[in-house]
């Protein structure tokens, strides 16, 4: 195992020192490699050639790498080809979100050759129909976990493509138990390409405001959904959207709502439809709007009854 942590106040120098250490691992057989940046700037601020050269030393000499975590690094397509050439039979986990020098062709090379890959984490711009089909080939083992980060730093700067429904279906046919986890950090105007057709996502996290219309699409087109977390929605009650999700997402067991609104009656109906399968229910008290059926004193006992356990809404800290 080799975990190199870059965390001190001289973080650029620390990252360069980590590269120097990697360059010396000529006679080491490493199974797990983790490059972790807990501060900025980090590995992205060292010379790309220095970083890639050091990483290639590990890829060439290890021969039995099974787990690689290289988020936020300047790894590139040629270095991934070296990884594949030397570790294709052993690689099981590859975590490489926020690696801007990797192209869809680079990650496709990994999926095409590393048939033992069980866990993969990447940014959405690297996801393609070809990649999903490669992960679904007969030679490939069952994929267990696919994490996709959908990130936009500036509105309108990134164009998001659509993945075909047939490609998603091929993946789930091949790996029926796969967890497909999507983290969204988009602006409301950028959601158009997503969930227009059935999508087998299991865990959804929205870190920015998401519209009622988008949440309505989730209820229609995400039947495998297990967990939903919404950071913010605005000031439009989500009763219809939540009830639709309860109706159609029969595997839903966890939900969290932040800066959103739902009437107490709509919330009770949602919980009644989901029942005891809701093992995690995290709702801020400010989300719930009292109505003619329930006030804030009544809501906790009614929800607790349908959950089959004691439940209270989350309280905003007072400090």
Evaluate whether residue 117 is within a structural domain.
no
Mean pLDDT of 123-130: 97
| Model pLDDT, residue 1 | 54
Backbone conformation region of residue 313, classed left if phi is above 0, alpha if psi is from -120 to 50, else beta = beta
Evaluate whether residue 40 is within a structural domain.
yes
Mean pLDDT of 110-131: 97
2-23 confidence digits (pLDDT tens): 555 544 444 556 777 788 888 8
Mean pLDDT of 48-59: 89
Say how many domains are in the chain: 2
Mean pLDDT of 217-222: 96
Q: 15: number of CA atoms within 13 Å, CB side?
A: 24
Give the percent of the chain with pLDDT over 70. Answer: 92
Whole-model pTM? 0.91
| Model pLDDT, residue 9 | 40
Which tokens sit at 13? 């120098």
Q: CB within 8 A of 114, min separation 6: which ones?
A: 84, 87, 88, 91, 94
Evaluate whether residue 175 is within a structural domain.
no
The domain boundary, picked from 71, 102, 133, lies at 102
Tell me which residue range forms the domain holding 270.
195-318
175-197 confidence digits (pLDDT tens): 999 999 999 999 888 999 999 99
State yes or no: pLDDT of 271 exceeds 60. yes
The residue behind tokens 């048939």 is 115
State yes or no: pLDDT of 27 exceeds 80. no
Evaluate whether residue 147 is within a structural domain.
no
State yes or no: pLDDT of 230 exceeds 90. yes
The domain boundary, picked from 73, 102, 131, lies at 102
The residue behind tokens 């080809």 is 81
Residue 114's CB is within 10 A of a number of other CB atoms, namely 24
The domain boundary, picked from 86, 102, 118, lies at 102
């Amino acid at each position: 195992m080799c975990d190199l942590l870059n965390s001190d106040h001289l973080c650029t120098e620390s990252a360069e020192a980590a590269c120097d250490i990697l360059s010396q691992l000529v006679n080491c057989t490493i199974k797990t490699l983790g490059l972790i940046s807990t501060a900025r700037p980090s590995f992205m601020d060292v010379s790309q050639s220095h970083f890639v050269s050091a990483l290639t030393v590990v890829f060439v000499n290890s021969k039995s790498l099974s787990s690689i975590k290289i988020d936020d690094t300047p790894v590139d397509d040629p270095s991934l080809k070296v990884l594949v050439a030397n570790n294709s039979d052993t690689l099981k986990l590859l975590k490489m979100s926020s690696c801007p020098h990797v192209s869809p062709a680079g990650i496709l090379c990994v999926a095409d050759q590393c048939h033992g890959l069980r866990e993969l984490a990447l940014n959405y711009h690297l996801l393609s129909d070809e990649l999903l089909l490669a992960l679904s080939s007969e030679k490939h083992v069952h994929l267990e976990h696919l994490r996709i980060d959908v990130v936009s730093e500036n509105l309108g700067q990134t164009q998001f493509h659509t993945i075909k429904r047939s490609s998603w279906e091929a993946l789930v046919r091949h790996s029926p138990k796969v967890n497909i986890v999507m983290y969204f950090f988009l602006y409301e105007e950028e959601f158009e390409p997503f969930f227009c057709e059935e999508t087998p996502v299991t865990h959804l996290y929205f870190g920015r405001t998401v519209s009622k219309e988008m949440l309505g699409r989730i209820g229609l087109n995400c039947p495998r959904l297990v967990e939903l977390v919404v950071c913010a929605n605005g000031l439009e009650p989500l009763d219809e959207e939540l009830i639709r999700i309860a109706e159609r997402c029969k595997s839903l067991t966890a939900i969290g709502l932040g800066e959103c609104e739902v009437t107490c009656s709509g919330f009770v109906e949602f919980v009644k439809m989901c029942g005891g399968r809701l093992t995690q229910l995290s709702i801020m008290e400010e989300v719930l709007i009292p109505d003619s059926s329930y006030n804030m004193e009544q809501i906790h006992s009614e929800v607790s009854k349908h959950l089959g356990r004691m439940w209270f809404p989350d309280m905003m800290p007072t400090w």
